[in-house]
């Protein structure tokens, strides 16, 4: 089994282009970020402000959030300095991040909102990324379901969210430990009164989650196809190092540390690719072609990590192609049954002013 998640979890390049759904989720979170920052008196402040975006990939999907917040910020003060620290794992596409914020020269986001400084940071978010008491607003979208490792091997499934294996308890324990480390690090980084807005995949009280809202479940489909492509041992060795927490698990962990829970909502964001198919923009073949990459970007490395080390790269590539080729055919033949709707917890936390 692969070791630390840090070794092999990184989105492929062109992350932003391939993940329209993730951007939609961030857009849906903007009003809540705006409301709680405004209620907290943030926009009226005079001191330099620092934002932290954890697990930001190439930063592109979060542009609508930072643009909205910085526009309001500048309406209140033309001179107040603002810094954005964009965080991800060391292997992330930081080149694109810097291009996103610099492109357009005088019209770049950095220039438009000057004095605005953009920094990259590659510290895994289980640890503190910046110094104590330095952050006004910490944010993370669709990233903290990644665990520090896969703690066990599930015999019946590739993902904990549908596995009946007893070892799922080990995933739960590690998820609790990881969430606690994440929260402790955010607590230390925040200024008193600062906000941490966590937008995380979750399991809703109706037992919906990513790719399982209606029709076929995405993770069931992954598991069924992979069972027919990989050997028995390789199937057991393929384990997503992820955990989809419940609303209660997310909230309890935060309250235990002393965070105030300002807001907590479960939000479903419908698959934008399925919407285009349903609107009649695409045939089923076009739908399958356009939809597939939004699943492959984050999962191909996990499937590959379960394969025997002594297989040739060619062999591994063939098996991965078979997985995605089969999935594509299923979508083409029955497009109504397949989609990747998102189910998120929008959790807004505040470090109390006196802390
Ligand atoms: C699905 S992408 C989300 C990107 C962006 N926040 C969005 O919502 O579109 C998840 C990101 O989390 C990053 N990630 C996973 N584990 C991480 C860790 N321990 N520390 C920092 N980033 C991590 C991955 O590398 C990936 O870029």
C-beta of 28 in contact with ligand 1 (< 6 A)? no
Domain annotation covers residue 33: yes
Task: Copy the structure tokens of residue 249.
Answer: 């698990």
Q: What's the total number of domains in the chain?
A: 1
Task: Report the nearest-CA residue for atom 25 of ligand 1.
Answer: 10
C-beta of 19 in contact with ligand 1 (< 6 A)? yes
Q: Which residues of 121-151 are buried (b: 16+ CB within 10 A; e: fewer)?
A: bebbbbeebbeeebbbbbbbbbbbbbbbbbb
Measured in angstroms, how far is the CA atom of residue 38 from the centroid of ligand 1?
A: 27
Mutational pocket test of ligand 1: of 14, 30, 143, the residue with most ligand atoms within 8 Å of the beta carbon: 143
Measured in angstroms, how far is the CA atom of residue 46 from the centroid of ligand 1?
A: 31
Q: How many CB atoms lie within 10 A of CB 250?
A: 21
Angle between helices 20-39 and 63-76 (to 10 degrees): 30
Tell me whether the omega of the peptide bond preceding residue 125 falls within 30 degrees of 0, making it cis: no
Task: Report the nearest-CA residue for atom 16 of ligand 1.
Answer: 146
**CA geometry: angle 286, 291, 297, nearest 5 deg:** 140
Measured in angstroms, how far is the CA atom of residue 56 from the centroid of ligand 1?
A: 6
> What atom in ligand 1 is closest to the CA of residue 56?
6
Domain annotation covers residue 224: no
pTM: 0.94
- Strand partners of residue 117: 83
- Per-residue confidence (pLDDT) for residue 5, from 0 to 100: 57
C-beta of 89 in contact with ligand 1 (< 6 A)? yes
C-beta of 88 in contact with ligand 1 (< 6 A)? yes
Domain annotation covers residue 283: no
Measured in angstroms, how far is the CA atom of residue 157 from the centroid of ligand 1?
A: 23
Task: Copy the structure tokens of residue 320.
Answer: 């991965």
Domain annotation covers residue 122: yes
Classify 54 as helix, strand or coil: strand
Domain annotation covers residue 17: yes
Task: Report the nearest-CA residue for atom 24 of ligand 1.
Answer: 10
Give CA–CA dist 86/139, Å, rounded.
10
Task: Report the nearest-CA residue for atom 23 of ligand 1.
Answer: 55
Domain annotation covers residue 310: no
Domain annotation covers residue 133: yes
**C-alpha distance from residue 331 to each of 40, 77, 205, 280, 336 (Å):** 46, 51, 28, 16, 8
Domain annotation covers residue 78: yes
Give CA–CA dist 327/322, Å, rounded.
8
C-beta of 26 in contact with ligand 1 (< 6 A)? yes
- Strand partners of residue 103: none
- Per-residue confidence (pLDDT) for residue 4, from 0 to 100: 61
Mean pLDDT per 10-residue section of the chain, whose length is 355 residues: 50 62 96 98 96 96 96 97 97 93 83 96 98 98 98 98 98 98 98 98 98 98 98 98 98 95 98 95 95 94 97 98 98 98 98 91
Measured in angstroms, how far is the CA atom of residue 50 from the centroid of ligand 1?
A: 20
What's the burial of 41, exposed, middle or buried (CB within 10 Å: 0-12/13-18/19+)?
A: exposed
In order, the DSSP letters of 65-81 are HHHHHHHHHHHH-SS--
C-beta of 10 in contact with ligand 1 (< 6 A)? yes
C-beta of 198 in contact with ligand 1 (< 6 A)? no
- Per-residue confidence (pLDDT) for residue 103, from 0 to 100: 85
Residue 15 is part of a domain; what is its CATH number? 3.40.50.150
Owning domain of residue 16: 5-213+240-274+340-350
C-beta of 135 in contact with ligand 1 (< 6 A)? no
Measured in angstroms, how far is the CA atom of residue 281 from the centroid of ligand 1?
A: 31
């Amino acid at each position: 089994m692969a070791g630390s998640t840090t070794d092999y979890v990184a989105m492929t390049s062109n992350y932003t282009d391939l993940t329209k759904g993730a951007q939609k989720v961030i857009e849906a979170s903007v009003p809540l970020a705006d409301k709680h920052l405004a209620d907290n008196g943030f926009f009226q402040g005079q001191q330099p402000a620092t934002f932290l975006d954890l697990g930001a990939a190439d930063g592109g999907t979060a542009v609508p959030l930072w643009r909205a917040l910085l526009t309001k910020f500048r309406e209140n003060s033309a001179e107040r300095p603002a810094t954005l620290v964009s965080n991800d794992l060391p292997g992330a596409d930081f080149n694109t991040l810097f291009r996103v914020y610099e492109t357009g020269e005088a019209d770049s986001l950095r220039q438009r909102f000057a004095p605005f400084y953009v920094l990259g940071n590659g510290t895994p978010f289980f640890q503190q990324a910046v110094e104590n008491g330095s952050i006004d607003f910490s944010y993370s979208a669709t990233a903290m379901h990644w665990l520090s490792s896969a703690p066990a091997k599930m015999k019946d499934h590739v993902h904990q969210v549908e596995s009946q294996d007893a070892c799922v308890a080990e995933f739960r324990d590690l998820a609790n430990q990881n969430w606690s480390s994440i929260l402790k690090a955010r607590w230390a980084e925040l200024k008193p009164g600062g906000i941490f807005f966590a937008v995380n995949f979750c399991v809703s009280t109706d037992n919906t989650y990513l790719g399982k809202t209606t029709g076929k479940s995405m993770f069931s489909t992954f598991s069924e196809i992979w069972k027919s492509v990989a050997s028995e041992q390789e199937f057991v060795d393929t384990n997503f190092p992820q955990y989809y927490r419940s609303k209660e698990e997310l909230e309890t962990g935060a309250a235990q540390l002393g965070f105030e829970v300002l807001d907590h909502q479960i939000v479903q964001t419908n698959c934008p690719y399925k919407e285009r198919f349903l609107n009649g923009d695409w045939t089923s073949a076009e739908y399958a072609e356009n939809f597939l990459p939004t699943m492959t970007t984050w999962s191909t490395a996990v499937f590959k990590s379960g394969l025997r080390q002594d297989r040739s790269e060619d062999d591994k590539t063939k098996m991965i192609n078979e997985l995605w080729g089969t999935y594509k055919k299923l979508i083409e033949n029955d497009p109504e049954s397949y989609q990747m709707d998102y189910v998120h917890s929008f959790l807004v936390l505040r470090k109390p002013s006196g802390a």
